[in-house]
Amino acid sequence: MSLYLLWTDILVWLLVVVMATSFWRMMRSPLARERWYRIFHAKVAVASAIVLGFYVVIALSDSIHFKSTDSGYGNQIVSLLDMAMVHRKSTSERTYSAPFADHEYTRSIVTDEAQKKRVQRFLPLRYVQTGHFLRDTIEGLGTGILFAALLIGLHLWWRARSAHKHSPASELHSSIPWRTAYTVFALLSILLAWLYIMSFSYHVLGTDKVGGDLFYASLKSIRTGVLIGTLTTLVTLPLAVILGVSAGYFRGWVDDLIQYLYTTLSSIPGVLLIAAGVLMMQVMMESHPEWFASTLERSDLRLLFLIMILGVTSWTSLCRMLRAETLRIAQMDYVIAAQAFGVGRWRIMLRHIVPNLMHIILISVVLDFSGLVLAEAVLSYVGVGVDPTMYSWGNMINQARLEMAREPMVWWSLFSAFSFMFVLVLAANLFSDRVQQVLDPRSDA
Residue-wise pLDDT tens digits, 280-315 = 887 877 777 777 767 788 888 888 888 888 888 888
% of the chain beyond a pLDDT of 70? 93
128: left (phi over 0), alpha (psi -120 to 50) or beta: beta
Q: Domain for residue 65, yes or no?
A: no
Q: What's the confidence (pLDDT) of residue 69?
A: 65
Contacts of 40 (CB under 8 A, 6+ apart): 46, 49, 176, 177
Q: Give the pLDDT mean for 167-196.
A: 84
Q: What's the confidence (pLDDT) of residue 74?
A: 54
Helix (H, G, I), strand (E, B) or coil at 434: helix
Helix (H, G, I), strand (E, B) or coil at 200: coil
Q: Domain for residue 323, yes or no?
A: yes
Range of the domain at 229: 221-415
Q: HSE of 418 in the Cβ direction (CA atoms, 13 Å)?
A: 10
Q: Domain for residue 20, yes or no?
A: no
374 in Cβ contact with 314 (< 8 Å): no
Q: What's the confidence (pLDDT) of residue 44?
A: 92
232: how many CB neighbours lie within 10 A of its CB? 27
Helix (H) or strand (E) holding 111: strand 108-112
Q: What is the CATH number of the domain that holds 335?
A: 1.10.3720
Could you give the number of structural domains in the chain? 1
Q: What angle do CA 327, 329, 332 make, to 5 degrees?
A: 120
- Rounded to the nearest 10 degrees, what angle do helices 316-329 and 252-267 cross at? 150
Q: Domain for residue 377, yes or no?
A: yes
Distance CA 46, CA 39 (A): 8
Q: Domain for residue 138, yes or no?
A: no
Question: Per residue in 124-177, pLDDT tens?
Answer: 888 888 878 899 999 999 999 999 999 999 999 888 887 666 555 555 566 788
Q: Domain for residue 16, yes or no?
A: no
**Dihedral sign, Cα of residue 111, residue 113, residue 115, residue 120:** negative
Q: Domain for residue 182, yes or no?
A: no
Distance CA 433, CA 366 (A): 9
Q: HSE of 136 in the Cβ direction (CA atoms, 13 Å)?
A: 20
Give 441 or 404, the one with higher predicted confidence.
404
Distance of CA 271 to the CA centre of its chain: 21
Q: What's the confidence (pLDDT) of residue 199?
A: 92
Q: Domain for residue 147, yes or no?
A: no
What does DSSP assign to residue 176?
Answer: S
First to last CA, the chain: 52
Question: Per residue in 255-289, pLDDT tens?
Answer: 899 989 888 888 877 777 888 887 888 787 777 77
pTM over cut 0.85: yes
